[in-house]
Amino acid sequence: MRNLLILVIILQFCACKTTQPETIYIEKEVLAPRELKKPTAKNIILLIGDGMGMGQISAGTYASNNKTNLERFPVIGIHKPTASSHLVTDSAAAATAFACGVKTFNKAIGVDKDSIPVTSILEEAETKNLRTGLVATSTIVHATPASFIAHNVNRRAYEEIAEDFLATEIDFFAGGGKQFFDLREDERNLIKEMEAKGYVIETFLNDYADVKMRMENAEKFGYLSSNKDPLPRSQGRDYFEDMSMTAVNFLNNDVEDRGFFLMIESSQIDWGGHANESDYIIDEFKEFDRVIGKVLDWAEQDGETLVIVTADHETGGYAVHHEATIDNLITNFTSKKHTGDFIPVFAKGPGAEDFAGIYENYDIYYKMRAAFGWPAKPASNR
């Protein structure tokens, strides 16, 4: 019996040996086309609601007849909003995690925990000949947009961060903070320097219709909506919805058809949280939700665009109170600062399925790279 068993094993071994090359050949033939079929995204639009946790999403949705465009996303995941220096992250470390794939310290812009600059996904997109853009309702040098384009150990070094816009070939940006470009301590005029590089730079000092008209002929375009912070929407800021879709169309309208990376930030949901003002949060959320809806409408038509919506962290420990009704939305705050609550991630389009599950905030960077079909980066870079 034992001899028979050994004989069978020997026969199988020989059979394997003789048929092995053919088997491998067949597997290659079968596997290669299947691998090629994995859809990659031509464009990625990352939308960040600063300080937008589940409380903000819940209250904002209840206040919108119980409907949000976030319901249109087929894939939902959760990220852990922590920094290397603190359990609870700030916007700088969080945006650096998304932009560069590293956990870093609070206040860090595009540098790792040892203060070494790390190439961002926006910068890498440019080296790969994609078009790139940033739109925010804060200044354009504020922590969230800055982390995609600048490298600085201090998020408040706004004038230095503005200089980093000249070190890139970003194609489109819109936000506040004109004074950090042209009313500077060093008396440089970065607006003039960018214009010399071929940019059309428009500001709030010009009529918005003229701004839009001159943008049409621009190769690269920047809009600075205010000297310092843009106003809350309720006090008159009105460029966000328009500039978000203008950015999408500007980046997509390209004779070379290169594809693009665009980050759009609703910055002031966070400021409503810090101020413990529920109406401020809800109003900013509603505007962000309209932007999300328009971006989704466009991306659904396009079919080659991955859309991701998430937040950097929650702000205010904001929750819907147990006595709230749909008509009387009573809410609570537990803090004037950020909290460590887990944060939802919504994804739709090519590569979206990778965003299901629970993961670290920096994994969003690696998932976006994978969606673009770029080669994986070694884990040691984290």
Residue numbers at the binding site for Mg ion (CB under 5 A): 50, 91, 144, 267
Identity of the residue, 270 or 363, whose beta carbon is nearer to Zn ion in the bound complex: 270
Q: Which helix (H) or strand (E) holds 201?
A: strand 199-203
Give which of Mg ion, Zn ion, none residue 361 binds (C-beta under 5 to 8 Å, depending on kind).
Answer: none
CA distance 54 to 62: 12
Helix or strand holding residue 315 (H, E): strand 314-315
Segment contacting Zn ion (CB under 5 A): 178-186, 214-222, 246-254, 266-274? 266-274
Residue 270 makes contact with Zn ion by CB under 5 A: yes
Residue 265 binds to Zn ion (criterion: CB under 5 A): no
Distance (Å, whole) CA 266 – CA 47: 8
Smallest distance, Å, CB 270 to Zn ion?
4
What's the closest the beta carbon of residue 94 comes to Mg ion, in angstroms? Answer: 9
Q: Which two tokens stand for residue 114?
A: 């040892």
- Partner that binds at residue 58, options Zn ion, Mg ion, none, CB closer than 5 to 8 Å by kind: none
Judging by DSSP bridges, how do beta strands 131-139 and 314-315 pair with one another? unpaired
Nearer to Zn ion, 126 or 270 (CB): 270
Q: Which range binds Zn ion by CB under 5 A, 41-49, 141-149, 263-271, 284-292?
A: 263-271
Known catalytic residue at 91 = yes
CB of residue 150 vs Zn ion: minimum separation in angstroms? 18
* CB closer to Mg ion out of 130 and 308: 308
Q: How far is the CB of 24 from Zn ion (least distance, A)?
A: 55
> From the candidates 58, 91, 120, 147, which is the catalytic residue?
91
Round to whole Å and give the CA distance between 358 and 347.
Answer: 14
Q: Which range binds Zn ion by CB under 5 A, 152-160, 199-207, 227-235, 262-270?
A: 262-270
Cβ proximity of 51 and 338 under 8 Å: yes
Q: Which does 152 bind (CB under 5 to 8 A by kind): Mg ion, Zn ion, none?
A: none
Tell me how far, at minimum, the Cβ of 257 lies from Mg ion, in Å: 31
Residue nearest to Zn ion (CB): 270
Percentages (nearest 5) of helix, strand, coil residues in the chain:
45, 20, 40
Residue closer to Mg ion (CB basis): 122 or 130? 122
Site membership for Zn ion, residue 202 (CB under 5 A)? no
Q: Does 284 bind Zn ion (CB under 5 A)?
A: no
Q: 344, 52 in Cβ contact below 8 A? A: no
Please count the residues of this chain forming the interface with Zn ion, following the rule CB under 5 A: 1
- Of 224, 244, 212, 221, which is closest to residue 170 (Cα–Cα)? 221
> Which of Zn ion, Mg ion, none binds 310 (CB below 5-8 Å, type-dependent)?
none
Q: Report the number of secondary-structure helices (H) and strands (E) in the chain.
A: 13, 14
- 207 — alpha (psi -120 to 50), left (phi > 0) or beta? beta
Which amino acid is it at 299?
A: A
User: Whole-number minimum distance, CB 154 to Zn ion, in Å?
Assistant: 16
CB < 8 Å & 24+ apart, contacts of 226-230: 226/139, 226/176, 226/177, 226/178, 227/176, 227/177, 227/178, 227/179, 227/183, 228/139, 228/176, 228/177, 228/179, 229/138, 229/139, 229/142, 229/176, 229/177, 230/137, 230/138, 230/139, 230/175, 230/176, 230/268
Q: Considering only 53-61, 205-213, 267-275, 371-379, which stretch makes contact with Zn ion by CB under 5 A?
A: 267-275
What is the contact surface with Zn ion in residues (CB under 5 A)?
270
Residues marked as catalytic:
91
